[in-house]
Amino acid sequence: MSSNKGTRKLNYALAINEALAQKLESDPSVILIGQGVTSPWYVGNTCKDLVERFGEERVIDTPVSENATTGAAVGAAIAGMKAIVVHPRTDFAVYAFDPIINQAANWFYMSGGTSSVPVVFWLIVNGGGEQAAQHSQALHTVFAHVPGLKVIAPSTAYDVKGLLIGAINDPNPVVFIDNRSLYGASENVPEEMYEIPFGKGVVRRKGKDITLVSFSFLAQESVKAAEALALEGIDAEVIDIRTLKPLDEKIILDSVNKTGKIAIVDSAWKFCGFSAEIAALINEKTNLSNKSILRVNIPDAPAPASVSLEEGYYLNSDKIVKSVKSLF
């Protein structure tokens, strides 16, 4: 990881843009492919000016065919390129399960380690905005379940640049769980390239009464919840795991062994979800009572389209606060 020399304020979307531009500039084998890479409507400012700078042979705006686009990216990676394939709606990456799960995830293993697939599957999550059930699903648990795939889910501008550069440099496939709700969040980001190692979580707020574990957008909401809980006398520690796979078990266990309580805040459904994995980790490697383990998830139902129903469906800091208080 680099020093903070040359640091300046950058929002999350432009931190992605800078990471992509710097890798395209420094490595001629890097390509970006996917729907809407030239359209702010699809990808916000994350791909701003990339096609003008690097040309249509390296920044490739594709037809609406997720399976073919992803298969082309995987094939290019096998052939020696470093491919980044964007899915502006995570939901439609389901069409690409074959090249992601059957091919890319297994290639290194099935080739006996003689061939790798340096590809980043960039999946953008939408939550709210009347996007409805087919445009709003958080499917990170599915990808984290598959051997051969690494899964990153940054929550800050600094982290998204460092983790994305690391993902592009990785010789094997990485799933980048992006979240459109983070695009306006700003912080100081170094101008130079740097990497954040996978499997290293971070403490966003120290506390002694309960551990809040989350990632991506809800890591930010967990910090807000912790500040609100502090006003009510509950001192919450917030762990942002940053990568789901590999998972930093140590940072979670160290915190839980200190606080004695944990709330796992997950943007997906509870049943068979990622929060269950963290709960199982706590059960297997600590002496915590089940009564001290809380899972905070969205309802086990498809996402609604109306604003009023969305307010009841999606998680935010207020709902995290209400859930955590049930343990005290």
pLDDT in tens, 78-110: 999 999 999 999 999 999 999 999 999 999 999
Let me know if residue 197 belongs to a domain.
Answer: no
The mean pLDDT of 176-181, rounded to a whole number, is 96
- CATH of residue 146: 3.40.50.970
**Contact by Cβ (8 Å): 186, 207:** no
Let me know if residue 58 belongs to a domain.
Answer: yes
- Domain total of the chain: 2
Q: Which has the closest alpha carbon to 127: 176, 177, 88, 180?
A: 180
- Round to whole Å and give the CA distance between 27 and 60: 16
Domain that holds residue 319: 202-325
One-letter amino acid of 179: N
Q: 214 with 244, same domain?
A: yes
Find where tokens 């445009």 sit: 135
pLDDT above 90 coverage of the chain, percent: 92
- CATH of residue 269: 3.40.50.920
Let me know if residue 195 belongs to a domain.
Answer: no
Of 169, 190, 211, the last residue of a domain is 190
- Round to whole Å and give the CA distance between 55 and 273: 41
**Contact by Cβ (8 Å): 281, 253:** yes
Q: 47 with 136, same domain?
A: yes
Let me know if residue 245 belongs to a domain.
Answer: yes
**Which tokens in the block code for residue 140?**
């990170």
The mean pLDDT of 124-152, rounded to a whole number, is 90
Let me know if residue 18 belongs to a domain.
Answer: yes
Amino acid 40: pLDDT: 85
Let me know if residue 1 belongs to a domain.
Answer: no
Q: 185 with 209, same domain?
A: no
Let me know if residue 272 belongs to a domain.
Answer: yes
Q: 22 with 83, same domain?
A: yes
pLDDT grade, residue 3 (50/70/90)?
A: very low
Of 170, 190, 210, the last residue of a domain is 190
Of 190, 218, 235, the last residue of a domain is 190
Q: 125 with 146, same domain?
A: yes
Catalytic residues: 66, 135
Amino acid 248: pLDDT: 98
Beta-bridged to residue 86, according to DSSP, are 34, 122
